[in-house]
């Protein structure tokens, strides 16, 4: 089938499947009391990953879908950091024993928007309440435009081992349209600072489908990115959801590339990265062949969570800060999204859980199936169902949905084994969506799947 016909059939809005069920299904039945019970049930010997959300930036990028706002008051930033420390202490108390930590991820927003002493105080709180050692990978998201002059010593003090730098597109026309002006020199400098500070892995984030973006502008950006020589590259599709993020209303829809142009941009950037020697990882990641993520590709070690693709093998993910999500065996628990609500909840009760979802046995199985599709581009549904003790007939409604994908050459099916073809890789979310029992195709809650 030709590209236009494929896009006519599959140009839909779908989740990114960084979790299943997705956050759209969360509700207030999971509250702080439920969360405390789940934390208390974490057994001795379990391992954890920790996510720290800093919802602040120096300025807002109009394309951004993250939970962040502008905050320049040092007092307000310090208050937030104090609340995160209080939350860390209360969560650790609920667990009742010190968990070994596999990974710490500072996300945002811009984590370095916090004063360095506040970041160090949060780090100290983590080390008091959890077991953090030389094997713990500590990662941070960096905005090259606002890197503090003390960044090298600040990052070294936190023990940073991996840094992720946003790029998007270096084209001046695109940068004008998204409200983010960032030079190649700034980006190169930030990568160098992170490496000198101890980061042995640098990740650069690119975005396609931006306003006024073309294949040519993205080609030039990829060429500049390759000169910086990152260990990993993420190639995300722009998620235009102005009904969720009001700042995106600045971007006119008629300035956005259509589905055909988006697919062409994705294909060209992916080809350039592959030709430069990077291994393709799942839907939108690339890594040097020697990178841990590339080595994990095709094995159960490659996972997918709220930060995207990862090689994190921890038993639980615990989130701290406004909007942060914890993923525990029983389900998901999310903190209040608005910073003011988060601060009030922490200062009053020590916890800020506002919503979440308790997983059923079937949810757990569907989550495992979707994760393997997104990571491996293949899954044996019958094997996973048998391991979970779930009747394989549960998926009788799925096979007709997959049949059209097979007829279009996007997947192959051999009994209960589904394999995504290379032509089907851009449609990976469509394959995963066949197993989504909650998806409502009539709603527009999600971004374009292409």
Domain coverage including residue 123 = 22-358
Q: Which of residues 358, 388, 409 is at a domain's end? A: 358
Q: Within this chain, do residues 67 and 161 fall inside the same structural domain, yes or no? A: yes
Cα 415 to the chain's mean position, in Å? Answer: 32
419 and 366 both lie in a single domain: yes
Identify whether residues 50 and 156 lie together within a single domain.
yes
Q: Is the pLDDT of residue 235 over 70?
A: yes
Q: Can you tell me the distance from the alpha carbon of 403 to that of 374, in angstroms, rounded to the nearest whole number?
A: 19
Strand partners, 333: 326, 356
pLDDT in tens, 341-366: 999 999 999 999 999 999 999 999 99
**Residues 325 and 436 grouped into a single domain:** no
Q: Which residues does residue 21 pair with via DSSP β-bridges, in sequence order?
A: none
Q: Among 311, 339, 358, which residue terminates a domain?
A: 358
Q: What is the pLDDT of residue 244?
A: 79
pLDDT at 134: 94
Tell me the pLDDT tens digit for each residue of 18-43: 999 999 999 999 999 999 999 999 99
Domain shared by 103 and 183, yes or no: yes
Q: Give Cα separations from 207 to 196, 217, 233, 345, 380 (angstroms).
A: 27, 11, 10, 35, 32
Mean pLDDT value of segment 51-76: 90
- Higher-pLDDT residue of 434 and 449 is 434
Cβ atoms of 297 and 305 closer than 8 Å: no
Co-location of 351 and 414 in the same domain: no
Residues 124 and 6 in one domain: no
What's the pLDDT band for 390 if we cut at 50, 70, 90? confident
Tens of pLDDT, residue by residue over 132-181, are 999 999 999 999 999 999 999 999 999 999 999 999 999 999 999 999 99
Predicted confidence (pLDDT) at residue 442 exceeds the cutoff of 80: no
- Kindly calculate the radius of gyration of the chain based on its CA atoms and give it in whole angstroms: 21
Number of domains in the chain: 2
pLDDT interval class at 328 (50, 70, 90): very high
d(CA 123, CA 155): 11
On average, the pLDDT of the chain sits at 94
| 338 and 397, same domain (yes or no) | no
> What CATH number did the domain enclosing 8 receive?
1.10.10.920
- Examine the fold and report which residue of 339, 358, 377 is the final residue of a domain before the chain moves on: 358
Spatial distance between the Cα atoms of 150 and 309, rounded to a whole number of angstroms: 30
Q: Model confidence at 443, in pLDDT bands (50, 70, 90)? A: low
Count other Cβ atoms within 10 Å, centred on residue 396.
9
Q: Please indicate, yes or no, whether residues 341 and 406 belong to a single structural domain of this protein.
A: no
Write the DSSP string, 248-261: GGGS-GGGS--HHH
Q: Are residues 249 and 195 in the same domain?
A: yes
Convert the pLDDT of each residue in 109-135 to its tens digit.
Answer: 999 999 999 999 999 999 999 999 999
Share of the chain above pLDDT 70, in %: 98
Residues 430 and 404 in one domain: yes
Query: In this predicted structure, what is the pLDDT of residue 304?
Result: 94
Q: Do 394 and 343 belong to one domain?
A: no
Domain CATH code at residue 205: 3.20.20.70
CA–CA separation, 38 vs 130, rounded Å? 17
């Amino acid at each position: 089938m030709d590209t236009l016909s494929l896009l006519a059939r599959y140009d839909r809005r779908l989740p990114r499947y960084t979790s299943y069920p997705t956050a759209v299904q969360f509700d207030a039945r999971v509250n702080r009391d439920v969360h405390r019970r789940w934390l208390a049930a974490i057994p001795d010997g379990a391992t954890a990953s920790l996510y720290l959300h800093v919802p602040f930036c120096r300025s807002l990028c109009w394309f951004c879908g993250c939970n962040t706002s502008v905050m320049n008051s040092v007092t307000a930033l310090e208050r937030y950091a104090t609340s995160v420390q209080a939350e860390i202490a209360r969560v650790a108390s609920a667990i009742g024993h010190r968990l070994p930590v596999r990974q710490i991820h500072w996300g945002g927003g811009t984590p370095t928007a916090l004063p360095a002493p506040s970041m160090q105080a949060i780090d100290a709180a983590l080390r008091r309440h959890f077991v953090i050692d030389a094997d713990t990978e500590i990662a941070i998201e960096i905005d090259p435009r606002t890197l503090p002059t003390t960044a090298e010593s600040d990052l070294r003090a936190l023990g940073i081992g991996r840094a992720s730098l946003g790029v998007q597109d270096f084209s001046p026309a695109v940068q004008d349209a998204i409200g983010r002006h960032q030079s190649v020199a700034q980006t190169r400098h930030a990568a160098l600072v992170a490496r000198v500070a101890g980061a042995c892995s640098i990740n650069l984030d690119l975005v396609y489908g931006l306003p006024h973006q073309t294949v040519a502008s993205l080609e030039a950006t990829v060429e500049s990115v390759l000169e910086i020589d990152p260990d990993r590259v993420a190639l995300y599709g722009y998620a235009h959801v102005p009904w969720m993020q009001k700042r995106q209303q600045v971007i006119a829809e008629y300035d956005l590339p259509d589905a055909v142009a988006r697919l062409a941009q994705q294909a060209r950037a992916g080809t350039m990265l592959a030709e430069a020697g990077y291994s393709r990882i799942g839907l939108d990641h690339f890594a040097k062949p020697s990178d841990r993520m590339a080595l994990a590709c095709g094995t159960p070690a490659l996972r997918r969570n709220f930060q995207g693709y990862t090689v994190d093998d921890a038993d639980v993910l615990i989130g701290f800060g406004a909007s942060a999500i914890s993923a525990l065996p029983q389900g998901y628990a999310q903190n209040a999204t608005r910073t003011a609500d988060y601060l009030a909840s922490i200062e009053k009760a020590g916890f800020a859980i506002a919503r979440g979802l308790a997983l059923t046995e079937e949810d757990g199985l569907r989550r495992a199936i979707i994760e393997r599709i997104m990571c491996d581009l293949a899954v044996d549904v019958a094997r996973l169902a048998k391991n979970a003790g779930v009747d394989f007939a549960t998926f009788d409604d799925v096979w007709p949905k997959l049949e059209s994908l097979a007829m279009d050459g996007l997947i192959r099916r051999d009994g209960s084994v589904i394999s995504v073809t290379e032509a089907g890789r851009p449609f990976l979310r469509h394959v995963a969506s066949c197993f989504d029992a909650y998806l409502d195709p009539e709603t527009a809650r999600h971004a374009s799947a292409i």
